[in-house]
Amino acid sequence: MVPSCRVVYLRKDKLGYINGDLPQPPSTAPTFPRWRTENSIVKGWLINSLEQSLIGNFIRFSTAKAVWDAIATTYYDGTNTSQVYDLKRRVSRMRQAGGSIETYYNTLQSLWREFDFRRPNMIEYEIDIKRYNDILQEDRVYIFLDGLDDRLDKARSDVLHMTSFPTVDQAYAYVRREDVRQAVMMGSSDRATGAGLAAKSAPRSGLPTRAGQPHNSSTTAHLQIQSYATAADNSEQQDEDPSSHSTHPSLIPRHHSGSYSALQRYLQRAFARCRRSRDPNIDEKTPVLEQIFLGRNQLDEAIGLLRGAVSQPEQALGFVVIIQMLSGAARFRQIEGLVRTTMKEEYDPLKRGLSLATLETKWSDLSEEIQTVPANQTRFHRAITVHNISNARVEINSVESPFVQGVTMLLYDRNRK
């Protein structure tokens, strides 16, 4: 009997109707009406489980046991040979084929469980059972690794060179961590969560795509960013043509070549283009950026903005973006020195409580969340909690269109020296 059928009928206390333990009583017996009703129910379960084209061959039988026996006679050959062969063939041909690693592994496990049921371990001695299971696990690790996509070749090699050879579960756990790491680095939230057999990389929200690729969201900031030095040396004629640029500025550069002064000139021109484009998402009353300096003034604005972050969400969103900008800038050695010096020495309020600590320790978390938000969504995968200048907790869990205004205000230099 198929194990799943046995479980179902046992749970419903109806197994006797198909294995003969509850034979048909005489029609005059007081138990006959109940038996007839329950026999019809079980027979209905069996008939309904068949394909439509097969129902006519079995519906004429009067009892559930007769239906079951007829099915067994027709389709069971008395051995598991064909099923074992099919399972072996399917396992040997299984490949990840660009799908999620969770789907690939779970399919393999399902086939292996069915194989173990049909080909149980008949060894009696405990030491031999352990040796058999160790060999079986090793073989399954090889099968699992062989079916992985080529992009996971390094993880495959790492597993094979482990000092203590892993079980298939341990191998899967290791490879999955590498798969998630790659997904995060590439900005693919689908593959990171294992959602879908053929997950595609989603573009990073607020980040420029490769040249020639369209932007998919009207609610996030996009600007095709080149290297600092190249962008700073663009001709004035290019700057005067706002149609050649996105109307939403992104403050997260993809490259870090060039000098600090070149970065300043580039950011000035980027916001000049934004001003001339008359972006409808930027309020007319919003101050226009005239100069940009990474350092004391921007950190001053960001920390001051935190005072009202709870009651004014768009200011909190602006804070997220300024920190993301500083996170990218920190990779630039010269700017990193300016930022850290400003935070630790020049701006006195930063020395109070947890403000400085959260600004430094949350940079990478905020950066990761912003960059991995899919283009058609606004919420982070996980909320980021920081502390404002008064040490009150501020939770930031999304990036929405109002942050464009917040960023413009944050970066507006009010000439405070």
137: exposed, middle or buried (Cβ count in 10 Å: 0-12, 13-18, 19+):
middle
Are 138 and 165 in contact by the 8 Å Cβ rule? The answer is: yes
**Same domain for 33 and 150?**
no
**Angstrom distance (rounded) from CA 321 to CA 331:** 16
- Whether residue 299 is contained in a domain is answered as yes
Shared domain check, 387 and 266 = yes
Q: Is residue 202 part of a domain?
A: no
Residue 398 CB contacts under 8 Å (≥ 6 apart), including other chains: 317, 378, 379, 380
CA 68 – CA 134 distance, rounded (Å): 39
Quote the CA–CA distance of 197 and 104 in Å, as a whole number. Answer: 8
Residues 45 and 94 in one domain: no
Does residue 200 lie within any of the structural domains? no
Same-domain check for residues 263 and 383: yes
Whether 395 is in a domain gets the answer yes
pTM for the complete prediction? 0.35
Residue 198 counted as domain residue: no
Helix (H, G, I), strand (E, B) or coil at 381: strand
Asked whether residue 52 falls in the same domain as residue 90, the answer is: no
Residue 168 and residue 185 in one domain = yes
88 and 58 housed in the same domain? no
Q: Is residue 15 part of a domain?
A: yes
Q: Are 405 and 250 in contact (CB under 8 A)?
A: no
CA distance 381 to 368: 10
Cα angle 346, 396, 303 (rounded to 5 degrees) comes to 20
Given a contact cutoff of 8 angstroms between Cβ atoms, the answer to whether 310 and 392 are in contact is yes
Total domains, the chain: 3
The whole-number pLDDT of residue 260 equals 38
Q: Which of 28, 47, 75 is the last residue of a domain?
A: 75
CA atoms within 13 A on the CB side of 274: 27
Q: Among 173, 193, 213, where does a domain finish? A: 193
Residue 63's alpha-carbon distances to 54, 105, 286, in angstroms, are 17, 42, 81
Q: Are residues 136 and 268 in the same domain?
A: no
- Determine whether 16 is exposed, middle or buried from the number of CB atoms within 10 Å of its CB (0-12, 13-18, 19+): middle
Cα 350 from chain centroid (whole Å): 35
In terms of Cβ atoms closer than 10 Å to its own Cβ (0-12, 13-18, 19+), residue 18 is: buried
Query: Does residue 53 lie within any of the structural domains?
Result: yes
For residues 184 and 285, membership in a common domain is answered with: no
Residue 223 inside a domain? The answer is no
Q: In this structure, are 271 and 183 located in the same domain? A: no
Range of the domain at 24: 3-75
Query: According to the model, what pLDDT value does residue 318 have?
Result: 54
- Length of the chain equals 417
* 126 shares a domain with 102: yes
Per-residue pLDDT for the chain (417 aa), expressed as one digit of tens each? 455 455 455 445 667 777 778 888 888 888 888 888 888 888 887 777 777 777 777 777 888 888 878 877 776 655 677 778 888 889 888 888 888 888 888 888 888 888 887 787 778 788 888 888 888 888 999 999 989 988 888 888 888 888 888 888 889 988 888 888 777 666 544 444 443 333 333 333 333 333 333 333 222 222 222 222 233 334 333 433 333 333 333 333 333 333 334 444 544 454 454 444 444 444 444 333 333 333 444 444 554 554 444 455 555 555 555 555 544 444 444 444 444 455 454 444 444 344 445 545 565 565 566 556 665 666 777 777 765 545 566 666 765 534 333 433 443 333 233
- The last residue of one of the domains, among 52, 75, 98, is 75
Same domain assignment for residues 86 and 69 = no
